[in-house]
Amino acid sequence: MAKATRKQALGRGLSALLKDPENDINSVADKNADKVVGNIVELELDAIDVNPFQPRSNFNDEALQELASSIRELGVIQPITVRKLDFNKYQLVSGERRYRASRLIGLETIPAYIRIANDQESLEMALVENIQRQDLDPIEIALSYQRLIEEIELTQEKLSDRVGKKRSTITNYLRLLRLDPIIQTGIRDGFISMGHGRTLVNVERREDQLEIYEQIIGDSLSVRQTEELVRKYHDSGSITKKSGSKSIPKSRYIVQSEIDLSQFLETPVILNTSDNEKGKMTISFKSKEELHRIKKLITGE
């Protein structure tokens, strides 16, 4: 306990140093930079901006509440990492869940490691650290890999070394981005697994991807069953339906409507039609809370 108290006191002392205009630190060569960079500093939450390069876009409310309760009881055990922007102004590099949870319970300060980096270095640090430490969904990981390749100009070989993953693993994640947006949403929301997604990538036509996706959801197909369905699709050139059912290709309008509705409701929406005019709409949800959210979006109440 004495050690923790000493660290907190040190953090407060460094925080005061950072608020002194005569000691403004903008590079590792500046006076007192060695006392700040790499050390834990208590920073005001209001002095920290969210990182625009943050790959995580979904924050589970229940998990955030649990983290907030833990922080209320135990404090922030693992400091966040920030990048210095200006005098008493910082930007998150990693630790947005801890930052959000601390704000949720009304904390005014948070322990932080301070780094001095340019935008490109900040982007790389944010993406790599989040891939390694955060519970990102497969699509968020794929998008992070894609950004590292495109914006940092890393080859897949260099990316493999940087994140400590096999090149084949990175390739499998990147291939998920070839899936229809509705299916990507289904993976992100946990309606199907990455294994389902890896199998569906082998279906080139997105309309066919969606038909198989609907069968996976409707019949609760396992990954192995999905692999068999895709194999039969390639063998026959068409999608295998249950006996007695007719396969009517969906019009572009129906497919686009599924995409628009899924994006608006933030959950998979499937439109089943008999003639591309009359039909049935299926809206997926995983909990009573999510159903309540969807109901509010639809009714406006």
- Write out the catalytic residue numbers: 96
Token pair of 101 as six digits:
């949870």
**What distances in angstroms separate CA 242 from CA 131, 215, 218, 272, 286, one per listed residue?**
40, 10, 12, 15, 26
Tokens, residue 169: 């693993």
Residues 262 and 5: their CA atoms lie apart, in Å, by: 50
Strands 80-86 and 279-283: what pairing?
unpaired
Beta-bridged to residue 279, according to DSSP, are 273
Edge to edge, what strands does the sheet with 80-86 contain? 40-44, 109-115, 80-86, 89-94, 48-49
How many C-beta atoms lie closer than 10 Å to residue 278's C-beta? 7
Separation between Cα atoms, residue 177 and residue 206, nearest integer Å? 12
How far apart (Å, rounded) are the C-alpha atoms in residues 159 and 94? 19
Residue 173 and residue 202 in contact, taking contact as beta carbons nearer than 8 Å? no
**Using CA atoms, how far apart are residues 296 and 301, in angstroms rounded to an integer?**
5
